[in-house]
Structure 1
Amino acid sequence: MPRFAANLTMLYPDRPFLDRFACAARDGFTAVEFFFPYAYPAAELAARLCDHGLQLVFFNATPRTDPAERGIACLPGRGHEFRDGFLRALDYAEALGCARLHVMPGRMPADADRRRLHATYVENLAWACGLAAHGRRTVLIEPINPRDVPDFFLTRQDQAHAIVQEVGSPCLKVQMDLYHCQIVEGDLAAKLREHLPTGRVGHLQIAGVPDRHEPDSGEVNFAYLFDVIDSLGYDGWIGCEYHPRQGDAPGGTSAGLGWLHRSRRPTYPDPGPVRG
């Protein structure tokens, strides 16, 4: 049975962020993820995790100083800023017991030399992995669809896996978000069967397509994909990174978790007809 982590940046939008830990625990989650921790003292976040018996499984390494940015790791001339941000992320990861840090490359500037962006990204990832190895942490890279984030540097699974192989560090893995993958590539079951056995996928995420609501809505049969994921022996976390259908209505996230409760019910083979 897959293990699900609540994304506290997107779920429970009717509640203040620090109250969302209690909401996730109440709904049966044992793990959480979120985008950025840096607006809060690490000690405060650690206390929320401890108080509610939650494990933090992922957050974004580089703080967002510009709302339009989606990372800076591939941008030439931003190396010092990237490294300072990653060092701060490692401090938070240590305090919060988090093993995975997502490094976002950023958007491609107009008329940029893609080869230079690629070289900068690989260099920064190799540096980050060298530090992550000391704490046995994993650096994640995630392809994101260009409809949601135009000009994003990393959009396809094969591109991400090629970068992982080029960097050559066991600390670098792919964050495979099935929402983004469906929009860009589709054929999700085949993509899972292709990539999960390689050991290069370090985290999965889900959302309904096309509206990014609960995974029981839209064009993707996630119940089937959960069986595929189980059959492939994936034992990592699946982040629930979606916007609840009921928006910020009180209790809207909890009301939309029927898909989660159904996924946790054991299934049994059909015993066939009863014979007298």
Structure 2
Amino acid sequence: MPRFAANLSMLYPELAFPDRFQAAAADGFRAVEFLFPYEWDARELAARLKGNGLEQVLFNGPPGDWNGGERGMACLPGREAEFRAGIGKALAYAEVLGCSRLHVMAGLVPQAQERDALRPTYVSNLRWAAREAAKQGVNVLIEPINTRDIPRFFLNRQDHAHELVAEIGEANVQVQMDLYHCQIVEGDVASKIRQYLPTGRVGHFQVAGVPERHEPDVGELNYAYLFDVIDEVSKDCGWSGWVGCEYRPARGAQPRGTSEGLGWLRGRRA
């Protein structure tokens, strides 16, 4: 069975963020991920992890002006100094949290600019970030994201991501394969798992139901089948990573709404 990590930015929304660690542990999770830790002191978060027997398996680097609509800086010419400062901050958090995976968001293609014109900046920034991250044993992840949720996002397809990983040419750069985004953009999800997982370049999975982004037992994807595919391919290729539960609970912020929606996971553990 794949190992599942609770995404604390989305799950347990009825609780204050620091209290979500205990809730995840109580539901049987042994690992967590989240978007951004920078509002909190890294030592406080590390204490929450340790106190609840949790492993931090992923978080995002600083995305720029998130509230202003930015979704990363890696592809944006002229933002290199800010990008590098953000990577430095993220790696400082990763060290305290004991986290070995850092997702670096690509950013949005500016209006009136062509995607291909941004590629050299993106490759250069990711190559620099990977070399810095390698100094402390951290893998840098890049994620294709669908253009319905984030219009004009630089990176959208699995093949594009793997081409970029090859061009960047650093051993610690991997793809964050979010099956929700993959289904919306491309479909043929099981075949893509079989194609890309054996390459060693898939560092992390994420899941959510399509199209509403609720629990993975609702929607057009047969996740029970896909989890079996991950298991099957993992046995052949030795993959032992995590599957992040990055979805919005269908019960919203009602008390214990996340916990009550975990029937799909309890069924896997039975």
TM range (shorter): over 0.9
Please tell me whether the aligned partners of residues 76 and 116 of structure 1 are also in contact (alpha carbons under 8 angstroms). no
Distance in 1 (alpha carbons) for counterparts of 2:241 and 2:267: 20
Please tell me whether the aligned partners of residues 63 and 71 of structure 2 are also in contact (alpha carbons under 8 angstroms). no
Deviation at 1:63, TM superposition (A): 4.3
Deviation at 1:115, TM superposition (A): 2.5
Alignment correspondent of 2:53: 53
Distance in 2 (alpha carbons) for counterparts of 1:132 and 1:36: 17
1:264 correspondence with 2:234: no
Alignment correspondent of 2:76: 75
Distance in 1 (alpha carbons) for counterparts of 2:114 and 2:97: 38
Distance in 2 (alpha carbons) for counterparts of 1:192 and 1:126: 25
Distance in 1 (alpha carbons) for counterparts of 2:75 and 2:154: 8
Distance in 2 (alpha carbons) for counterparts of 1:208 and 1:113: 32
Please tell me whether the aligned partners of residues 145 and 156 of structure 2 are also in contact (alpha carbons under 8 angstroms). yes
Provide the TM-score with structure 1 as the length reference: 0.95
Structure 2: runs of 5+ lacking an equivalent = none
Q: Which of 241, 246, 255 is the aligned partner of 1:241?
A: 246
Alignment correspondent of 1:224: 225
Distance in 1 (alpha carbons) for counterparts of 2:12 and 2:31: 15
1:22 correspondence with 2:22: yes
Distance in 2 (alpha carbons) for counterparts of 1:138 and 1:232: 21
Structure (1 or 2) with the larger CA radius of gyration? 1
SS at match of 1:62: coil
Please tell me whether the aligned partners of residues 203 and 238 of structure 1 are also in contact (alpha carbons under 8 angstroms). yes
Deviation at 1:235, TM superposition (A): 1.4
Calculate percent identity across the aligned residue pairs.
62
Deviating beyond 3 angstroms after TM superposition, the runs of 4 or more aligned structure 1 residues are none
Deviation at 1:111, TM superposition (A): 1.1
What does 1:88-107 correspond to in 2, within 5 Å?
88-107=89-108
* Residues paired across the two proteins, number: 265
Alignment correspondent of 2:172: 171
Please tell me whether the aligned partners of residues 177 and 206 of structure 2 are also in contact (alpha carbons under 8 angstroms). yes
Distance in 2 (alpha carbons) for counterparts of 1:64 and 1:252: 32
Show CA shifts across 1:190-249 (max 9, x none).
010010011100000000000000000000000000110000013100000000000001
Amino acid at match of 2:32: V
Please tell me whether the aligned partners of residues 63 and 73 of structure 2 are also in contact (alpha carbons under 8 angstroms). no
Provide the TM-score with structure 2 as the length reference: 0.97
Distance in 1 (alpha carbons) for counterparts of 2:66 and 2:168: 28
Deviation at 1:64, TM superposition (A): 4.1
Distance in 2 (alpha carbons) for counterparts of 1:105 and 1:63: 9
Please tell me whether the aligned partners of residues 38 and 63 of structure 1 are also in contact (alpha carbons under 8 angstroms). no
Distance in 1 (alpha carbons) for counterparts of 2:177 and 2:87: 21
Alignment correspondent of 1:133: 134
Please tell me whether the aligned partners of residues 25 and 53 of structure 1 are also in contact (alpha carbons under 8 angstroms). yes
SS at match of 2:162: helix
Distance in 2 (alpha carbons) for counterparts of 1:50 and 1:107: 36
Please tell me whether the aligned partners of residues 63 and 105 of structure 2 are also in contact (alpha carbons under 8 angstroms). no
SS at match of 1:173: strand
Show CA shifts across 1:49-80 (max 9, x none).
00000000000012442321110110000000
SS at match of 2:197: helix
Distance in 2 (alpha carbons) for counterparts of 1:66 and 1:169: 28
Show CA shifts across 1:106-154 (max 9, x none).
0100111323311100000000011111111100000000000000000
Amino acid at match of 1:261: R
Distance in 1 (alpha carbons) for counterparts of 2:60 and 2:20: 18
SS at match of 2:244: strand
Structure 1: runs of 5+ lacking an equivalent = 266-276
Alignment correspondent of 1:65: 65
What does 1:146-185 correspond to in 2, within 5 Å?
146-185=147-186
Q: 1:218 to 1:161 in 2, by over 3 A?
A: same
Amino acid at match of 1:22: Q
SS at match of 2:5: strand
